[in-house]
Amino acid sequence: MRESYRVAVVGATGAVGNTMLQLLEERSFPVASLKLLASHRSAGEILSFKDTPIIIEELTHDSFEDVDVVFSSAGASVSREFIPTAIEKGALVIDNTSAFRMDAATPLVVPEVNMDAARAHNGLIANPNCSTIQMMVALKPIYDVAGIKRIVVSTYQSVSGKSGRAVMELVQQTTEALEGKPVTLDKFPHQMAFNVAFDWPFLDSGDNEEEVKMINETRKILEDDTIGVSATTVRVPVFFAHSESINIETDEKLTAAQARECLATAPGVKLMDDPSNQQYPLAVDVAGEDDVYVGRIRDDASIDNGLNLWVVADNLRKGAALNAIQIAENLLSA
């Protein structure tokens, strides 16, 4: 690793961008200089990094002069427009959006799972969707020892996955609903307070975009086009951390006890599986944590090689900013 790097954060004022700044500081990422980039709306505002105020700049094609590493999270269309310029200027870009995830020339990386793929990059590495990342961290150790034929996953996704403003809208809706007033609908298509809802654009197939991301990204990361993935993604009135109920069919028999043993030492995984003592991962406990928590591991007696797992992770940390920083740390230290 060089002594330090000139870093730019695109989307610095957003929920992911904010977490990125927090983690760069927390993990003592070797930052020589830091450029905070956002839209014209927040240009001129000030954010603080290591107690130093930094003025937010409007993102333009000139933003990447003298930048070594770019962390980008301002939406897919912004990435499509600006990342090619950043690469051209010689920066290493870690992109948190869906813009290039399925591009054959762009590695899609979860460090605990397929860090080797990152090393073949052409200046750009894509961070998977948050729901895919936590599922991959939990399932790769099982995939390696027993193979996986099919995954059936249902998610319980927190509102912070949508945006910083969505978090504020749930606060507002909760107050309104408790006061018996009509709820404000701005970011959400439905009432989110006291509700369980679907929150992503639907495709002609009936799947929504989040479900298709989970399916395609899983196959790309595992480099396995034969694996079956059935996903149902759901938004719940939780602020931080996504939970997932995952059912798998393995190639070789793996009992729940063997799966527990396998996950106990897996990188990035925290096993929390003692239901008789009420020990299992809960979103409120996992929010703010770095590991992917796994519990409620059970044999699924309805098929020969079936297992059930409950997987929870902080979607803004491991699901987005932390995964991106870990990719950069790994590449730069090589």
* Contact set with ligand NAP (CB under 6 A): 11-17, 38-39, 41-42, 59, 73-76, 78, 96-97, 127, 129-130, 161, 163-165, 319-320
Distance from C-alpha of 294 to C-alpha of 272, rounded to nearest angstrom: 6
Which stretch in 4-12, 39-47, 154-162, 292-300 sits in contact with ligand 3JN by CB under 6 A?
Answer: 154-162
- Rounded to a whole number of angstroms, the CA Rg of the chain reads 20
Q: Which of 18, 19, 63, 97 binds ligand 3JN (CB under 6 A)?
A: 97
What amino acid positions are annotated as catalytic residues? 130, 242
Q: 123 with 105: CB under 8 angstroms?
A: no
Site for ligand 3JN in 273-332 (CB under 6 A): 315
230 touches, from ligand NAP, ligand 3JN, none (C-beta below 5 to 8 Å by class):
none
How near is the Cβ of 315 to ligand 3JN at its closest, in Å?
Answer: 6
> Can you tell me whether residue 142 is helix, strand or coil?
helix
Q: 330 with 267: CB under 8 angstroms?
A: no
By beta-carbon proximity to ligand 3JN, the closer residue of 126 and 271 is 126
The one-letter code for the residue type at 7 is V
Interaction of residue 164 with ligand 3JN, rule CB under 6 A: no
Return all residues near 201 (Cβ < 8 A) that are at least 6 apart: 208, 209
By beta-carbon proximity to ligand 3JN, the closer residue of 63 and 97 is 97
By beta-carbon proximity to ligand 3JN, the closer residue of 112 and 210 is 210
- What b/e string do you get for 50-66 counting C-beta neighbours within 10 Å, with b at 16 or more? eeeebebbebeeebbee
Which stretch in 47-55, 117-125, 155-163, 265-273 sits in contact with ligand 3JN by CB under 6 A?
Answer: 155-163
By beta-carbon proximity to ligand NAP, the closer residue of 20 and 294 is 20
By beta-carbon proximity to ligand 3JN, the closer residue of 33 and 202 is 202
Q: Which two tokens stand for residue 59?
A: 């993102």
Interaction of residue 213 with ligand 3JN, rule CB under 6 A: yes
Q: 131 with 110: CB under 8 angstroms?
A: no
By beta-carbon proximity to ligand NAP, the closer residue of 65 and 274 is 65
How near is the Cβ of 97 to ligand NAP at its closest, in Å?
Answer: 3
Looking at beta carbons, which residue is closest to ligand 3JN?
A: 161
Distance from C-alpha of 140 to C-alpha of 128, rounded to nearest angstrom: 15
15 touches, from ligand 3JN, ligand NAP, none (C-beta below 5 to 8 Å by class):
ligand NAP
How near is the Cβ of 72 to ligand NAP at its closest, in Å?
Answer: 8
Distance from C-alpha of 17 to C-alpha of 74, rounded to nearest angstrom: 8
CA distances for 40 relative to 9, 48, 54, 57, angstroms: 15, 19, 16, 8
Interaction of residue 162 with ligand 3JN, rule CB under 6 A: yes
Distance from C-alpha of 196 to C-alpha of 206, rounded to nearest angstrom: 18
Our CA angle for 276, 277, 280, nearest 5°, is 90
Interaction of residue 161 with ligand 3JN, rule CB under 6 A: yes
Provide the binding-site residues for ligand 3JN, judged by CB under 6 A.
75-76, 97-98, 129-130, 157, 161-162, 210, 213, 315
